[in-house]
Structure 1
Amino acid sequence: MTSPVIELRDVGRAYDEGPPALQAASVTVRAGEAVAILGPSGSGKSTLLNLIAGLDRPDSGTVTVNGVRVDRLGEAGAARYRRESIGMVFQFFNLLDDLTVADNVMLPAQLAGMPRAAARRRAGDLLETLGIARHARAYPGRLSGGQRQRVAVARALMNRPPLLLADEPTGALDQAAGEDVARLLRDLNDEGQTVVVVTHDLRLAESCTSRTIELVDGRVVADVAAAR
């Protein structure tokens, strides 16, 4: 059995107002899995994602990702951890409009200290693999939503992270573009990439993952594996 990439143990997180966002939540994701975190608005999905990404800290429990105790990291350590271990894809792409597609993709590698020539080669390979190499010199504003999300995926994969996190990756796309991105995530997982998709869309979960973890009121209420 493959080793865990993510281990959350009895994690709790509460904010100033309202009920806890997470309550004694335990989640394990192994290398090579494609897992969907499902639940309605307010169920704790975003909090769970932020804890995995080192953007937030739990009030109780432990968060370990790729062997790193994320809940113990300071600000600088968390930033380094994200550069080295996490690729993130967002609902609204978060691309920089004043940079070309290639420069957007190269940015994480340059922040990590990769020489520019090596970063450009890696970016070119990713854009070719993802079918958008012809747009390398274009600016994001000239691309369709589906193309911009492919650029965002390329950027997320730039530093070869062991874990790819996708936060509602099809939420800003039309149906055809959403299905295209779902196929892309499925193909990446078929090649061995560990993928966690946070979504409220059961159809997306069923199309690109083989395991669903459901949250309700901050608690894990179901963890189901299904043949894809």
Structure 2
Amino acid sequence: MIMPVIELREVSRRYDDGPPALREASLTVRPGEAVAILGPSGSGKSTLLNLIAGLDRPDAGTVTVDGVRVDLLGEAGAALYRRSKVGMIFQFFHLLDDLTVTDNVALPARLAGTAGGKADRRAAELLELLGIDRHARTYPNRLSGGERQRVAVARALVNRPPLLLADEPTGALDTAAGQDVSDMLTDLNAEGQTIVVVTHDLALARSCTERTVRIADGRITGDVRSQAVASQAVAPQAVASQDVR
């Protein structure tokens, strides 16, 4: 039996005295799936992402990612979990402008204790895979938005995480660069990488994922899988868990 990469059971989260940001949400994501979490601003999708990433804790329910009970982790445990289990890409890249592209990509591996030479070789593999190896010694502020997002994806994959989380990954890009990133996510998923994309953009959800989970007012209101993949077994061969050649 293949264990899910993500399993949320009856998860709720409330901030201060406001209405629940998340209400009894349950979600299972299998290895190799590409899933879009779709909803308007304030719907609860960012809360859901933060709980999966170990950046927040639920008030009720359980969050399990790749066999780890994320909701039980302390601060140090959550930091270690994010280094080893989750790669994250964001709307605004969050690259360090005083480091080269290679150093940006290799940094999480070095923080995880990987030797410098090995971290740099892994970074070089990913930069080649993502078609930006010619920029290895360039600084991020010299790159286009689409190129910077590719660097961010390489950084997210450097520690071979079983799960890639993307938070509005095309929100700061023009149409052409956004399509480029969407195509890249599609290619990564085709290689077996499990991906969860949080977005309000239905076009992005349709172009790079095979399953759409809708959320509104903190509740999961829909979960639709395309018929083309609904009957297929998903191979648990994540890009993150194998050497990239």
TM bracket (short chain) = over 0.9
Q: What is aligned with 2:145?
A: 145
Deviations 1:61-100 (A, max 9, x none): 0000000000000000000000000000000000001000
Q: Secondary structure at the match of 1:205?
A: helix
The range that moved more, 198-207 or 2-11, is 2-11
Q: Distance in 2 between matches of 1:117 and 1:128?
A: 17
Q: What is aligned with 1:68?
A: 68
Q: What is aligned with 2:196?
A: 196
Q: What is aligned with 1:7?
A: 7
Q: Distance in 2 between matches of 1:73 and 1:179?
A: 37
- Matched letter for residue 196 of structure 2: V
Q: What is aligned with 1:183?
A: 183
Q: Distance in 1 between matches of 2:52 and 2:17?
A: 22
Unpaired stretches in structure 1, ≥5 consecutive residues? none
Q: Distance in 2 between matches of 1:17 and 1:102?
A: 45
Q: Distance in 2 between matches of 1:3 and 1:146?
A: 34
Structure 1 runs of 4+ aligned residues shifted over 2 Å read none
Q: What is aligned with 2:168?
A: 168
User: Given the alignment of the two structures, is residue 114 of structure 1 paired with residue 143 of structure 2, yes or no?
Assistant: no
Q: Distance in 2 between matches of 1:64 and 1:123?
A: 29
Q: What is aligned with 2:56?
A: 56
Q: What is aligned with 1:84?
A: 84
Give the 5 Å matches for 1:35-46.
35-46=35-46
Q: Distance in 1 between matches of 2:136 and 2:187?
A: 22
Q: CA deviation at 1:17?
A: 3.7
TM-score (norm 1): 0.99
Q: Distance in 2 between matches of 1:18 and 1:212?
A: 27
Q: Distance in 2 between matches of 1:114 and 1:15?
A: 38
Same amino acid, percent of matched pairs: 75
User: Given the alignment of the two structures, is residue 96 of structure 1 paired with residue 134 of structure 2, yes or no?
Assistant: no
Q: What is aligned with 1:221?
A: 221
- Matched letter for residue 210 of structure 1: E
Unpaired stretches in structure 2, ≥5 consecutive residues? 230-245
Q: Secondary structure at the match of 1:7?
A: strand
Q: CA deviation at 1:3?
A: 2.1
- Matched letter for residue 113 of structure 2: G
Q: Distance in 1 between matches of 2:111 and 2:223?
A: 37
Q: CA deviation at 1:2?
A: 3.4
Give the 5 Å matches for 1:154-165.
154-165=154-165
Q: Distance in 2 between matches of 1:103 and 1:117?
A: 11
Deviations 1:95-143 (A, max 9, x none): 0010000000000000000000101110001000100000000000000
TM-score (norm 2): 0.92
Q: Distance in 1 between matches of 2:62 and 2:144?
A: 40
Report how many residues are paired.
228
Q: Distance in 2 between matches of 1:91 and 1:18?
A: 26
Q: What is aligned with 2:210?
A: 210
Q: CA deviation at 1:18?
A: 2.1
